[in-house]
């Protein structure tokens, strides 16, 4: 866990954003850059207001956001939960690791798009292949993080718990699990990032809902203003989700690294 950023660095952060904004206004206002490449701030605002009030293709914007979030949470939730449970067992017992490691190691570096088509063939074009794709993206990341967390558990602490009378299950529950918690949360954060990135790919699969689909669809009609708004929403939501996990991390594993 890094030290909090000193407050005097804030002007620098705000500064870069301000410079970018000025360049944007100048480039679009002077007519140097066509609107299809880069919409002006005013266009973007109008497009954003229009999306909020009118929705996109017969659906309110919040529906699209909701669909995307639901898929992320379903895929990430199931993948991270099952992956963590599997990783804990893999770290705790060598034979369980030997049983599952080949699949996990193969799946983890595999680009999600590589098996997307298989999922469509197997599961059709509904919600199932989308959520399954996100699930498979989260699972190996969470599993490896949890396994490594278990393996990093301090041996003296395990010995201490045993001499205090803890059974094997109690050692697992009261020492191994909390020892692995920092790694599990880091794994969850990594998995969420990957799932979020995979979301767009998942939503390209037929359908007419979700932020990813909205961006792809708007791009097809060269509505770059809508693409920009979509990208902005996805980006800001991504930052918010990540911050939330960091907050949870600080609260739950306040002892980590100390």
Site for other proteins in 198-257 (CB under 8 A): 253-255
Total residues interacting with other proteins, rule: CB under 8 A: 21
CA nearest 104: which of 138, 134, 152, 143?
Answer: 143
- Residue 84's nearest CA partner among 29, 141, 127, 42 is 141
- 76 vs 172, beta carbon nearer other proteins: 172
Shortest distance, position 169 Cβ to other proteins, whole Å: 10
Neighbours of 148 (CB within 10 A): 17
Q: What is the dihedral of CA 112, 228, 246, 113, to 10 degrees?
A: 0
Residues 143-162 that bind other proteins (CB under 8 A): 154, 156-157, 159-162
**Least distance from other proteins to the Cβ atom of residue 139, Å:** 26
Supply the minimum distance, in Å, between the C-beta of residue 187 and other proteins.
18
For the chain, how many residues are written? Answer: 258
Helix (H, G, I), strand (E, B) or coil at 41: helix
Residue 56 burial (10 A CB sphere; 0-12, 13-18, 19+): buried
Is the CB of residue 40 less than 8 Å from the CB of residue 28?
A: yes
- Looking at the Cβ atoms of 23 and 164, the one nearer to other proteins is 164
Contacts of 141 (CB under 8 A, 6+ apart): 83, 108, 187, 190, 191, 194
- Using CB under 8 A, which of 166, 190, 216, 245 touches other proteins? 166
Of 178 and 207, nearer to other proteins (C-beta) is 178
Cα(173)–Cα(158) distance, rounded to whole angstroms?
11
Determine which helix (DSSP H) or strand (DSSP E) holds 244, and give its type and residue range.
Answer: helix 224-252
Smallest gap from Cβ 253 to other proteins, in A, equals 8
| Residue 30 interacting with other proteins (CB under 8 A) | no
Q: Pick one of 81, 82, 174, 193: the residue that binds other proteins (CB under 8 A).
A: 174
User: Looking at beta carbons only, is 4 or 7 nearer to other proteins?
Assistant: 4
Least distance (Å) between residue 38 CB and other proteins: 50
180 binds other proteins, rule: CB under 8 A: no
Task: Determine if 164 is a binding residue for other proteins (CB under 8 A).
Answer: yes
Interface residue list for other proteins (CB under 8 A): 154, 156-157, 159-167, 170, 174-175, 178, 181, 253-255, 258
């Amino acid at each position: 866990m890094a030290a909090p950023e000193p407050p005097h660095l804030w002007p620098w952060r705000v500064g870069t954003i301000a410079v970018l904004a000025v360049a944007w206004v100048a480039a679009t206002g002077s007519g140097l850059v066509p609107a299809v490449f880069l919409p002006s701030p005013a266009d973007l605002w109008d497009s954003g207001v229009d999306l909020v009030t009118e929705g996109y293709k017969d659906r309110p914007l919040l529906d699209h956001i909701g669909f995307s979030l639901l898929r992320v949470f379903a895929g990430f939730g199931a993948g991270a939960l099952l992956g963590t449970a599997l990783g804990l067992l893999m770290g705790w017992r060598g034979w369980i690791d030997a049983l599952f490691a080949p699949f996990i190691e193969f799946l983890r570096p595999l680009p999600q798009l590589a098996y997307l088509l298989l999922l469509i063939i197997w599961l059709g074009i509904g919600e199932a292949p989308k959520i399954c794709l996100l699930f498979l993206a989260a699972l190996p990341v969470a599993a490896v993080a949890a396994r490594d967390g278990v393996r990093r558990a301090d041996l003296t602490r395990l010995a201490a718990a045993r001499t205090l009378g803890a059974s094997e299950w109690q050692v697992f529950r009261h020492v191994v699990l909390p020892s692995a918690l920092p790694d599990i949360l880091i794994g969850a954060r990594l998995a969420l990032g990957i799932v979020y990135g995979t979301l767009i790919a998942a939503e390209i699969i037929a359908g007419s809902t979700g932020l990813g689909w909205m961006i792809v669809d708007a791009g097809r009609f060269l509505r770059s203003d809508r693409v920009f708004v979509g990208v902005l929403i996805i980006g800001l939501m991504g930052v918010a989700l990540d911050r939330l996990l960091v907050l949870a991390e600080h609260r739950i594993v306040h002892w980590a690294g100390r």
